[in-house]
Structure 1
Amino acid sequence: MPSPPEAVLAPLHAAIARAQAVVEAETEALRRRAGIDLKSFEYRKSQALLDLDRARRSLPSEGLDRRTSEQLGMLRMRLDENMALLSTHMSAVREIADVIAKAMLEADSDGTYSRPGSGCLP
């Protein structure tokens, strides 16, 4: 089955490149542990997904060429890496939130309902 001509694939190639650039930028910022605006990256990734979807709709139904398949595979690898880093950061945020919540609960308790000998003041 012949692949679509380059002129038809060009918008998809451009959309893949833009999506990969956004994902790589966010991944690098997460690696550097820089203070990043995740909302901005969320918007940019949503826009990239919209661009990819629009470019995909313009393609004929026949299969993709090897170059496009490889680009999509690279994008997938970058997305997997990005997702793993985001997951790690979310776990850290949950742990910090749990520590803060526990400290607030302990500070709020006056010991009225604690058991004798539990280390809390009556």
Structure 2
Amino acid sequence: KMDEVRHLDWGKCDWFHPKPSVMRKVYQGSSHYTISMGVIQPGHVPGPHKHDYEQSVVILKGKCDFHVDDKVYTFDADLDKDGGLCFMTIPAGAMHWIENPYDKPVYNMDIFFPKRTADREESVEVR
């Protein structure tokens, strides 16, 4: 149960750079889930990974290939065109990764349930 309203303006937060080809901002405002926004640069191919929590993915803008277990899902989203978002839910324990072999950045949002804290420090408003 939440006992207070929490808010964070990502426009006032600096980007965190976990890798040269990835930028990220994180919101830890709930005790139940984590929200992370990322920008994946062209050419980015991280290693396959899995974790013990469910991950919902929203591709906001750009084209990417999302690998889950033995399948590849190609998304091409543009929020500015009729709300053209792409969604995916990845079960806990599924091997997955995002790849951007295309020529423009991909903007995505991840929602992790239950909360992911080990490598997702909350962004801080600095402006």
TM-score scaled by length of structure 2: 0.22
Give the structure with higher Rg (CA).
1
Query: TM-score w.r.t. structure 1 length?
Result: 0.22
Bigger helix fraction:
1
